[in-house]
Amino acid sequence: MKTNAARILDGLHVDYSIREYEVDENDLSAETVAAKVGMPAAQVFKTLVAKGDKTGILLACIPGNAELDLKALAALSGNKKVEMVPLKEVQPLTGYIRGGVSPIGTKKRYAVYVDQSAADWPILSLSAGARGYQLLLAPADLIRVVCAKLGSLGK
């Protein structure tokens, strides 16, 4: 399956592969996805949608085994306060459903902040923009395509 995120990477001539996995609607956790694609949870990045008090909507890509540090994201993004967007707003804002949010190809372009631990891996896994599909690509390519900043975002 070619997702919108994959088509964008094709258009930018970015090397990637897609790994398909069986979706469990009752467990969309990054840790479960990591096990299904045969990678450590720290190498499988989840994309979270947040809202800053000054900058508005932004995306944070953090390791699957981490929790988002909202204070760190606020500091990195120039906000005093950042909070998670309610689940019901994720699809209207991004065009993606929970468990399938990719930092690539959102309905509108948002600032994307990637946890600095991404640089520790030769390849990252992140949602391809649909449940059941993960993009595998080099961290440098992800950063080149979408990143506003690298920072320590997980705790």
Give residue-wise pLDDT tens across range 101-133.
Answer: 999 999 999 999 999 999 999 999 999 999 999
pLDDT in tens, 58-115: 999 999 999 999 999 999 999 999 999 999 999 999 999 988 999 999 999 999 999 9
- Please give the Cα distance from 142 to 112 (Å, whole number): 10
Token digits of residue 61: 């890509």
Q: Which CATH number fits domain 4-151: 3.30.70.20, 3.20.20.450, 3.90.960.10, 3.30.70.1070?
A: 3.90.960.10
SS (H, E, C) 14-58: CCCEEEECCCCCCCCCHHHHHHHHCCCHHHEEEEEEEEECCCEEE
Pairing between strand 82-84 and 44-52?
antiparallel
| Reported confidence tier of residue 144, pLDDT bands at 50, 70, 90 | confident
**Choice between 68 and 2, residue whose per-residue pLDDT is larger:** 68
Q: What is the pTM of this model?
A: 0.90
Pairing between strand 17-20 and 133-137?
antiparallel
At 154, is the secondary structure helix, strand, or coil? strand
b/e 38-75 (16+ beta carbons within 10 angstroms → b)? ebebbbbbbbbbbbbeebebbbbbbbbbbebbbebbbe
Residue pair 147/137 in contact (Cβ under 8 Å)? The answer is: no
Spans of all domains in the chain: 4-151
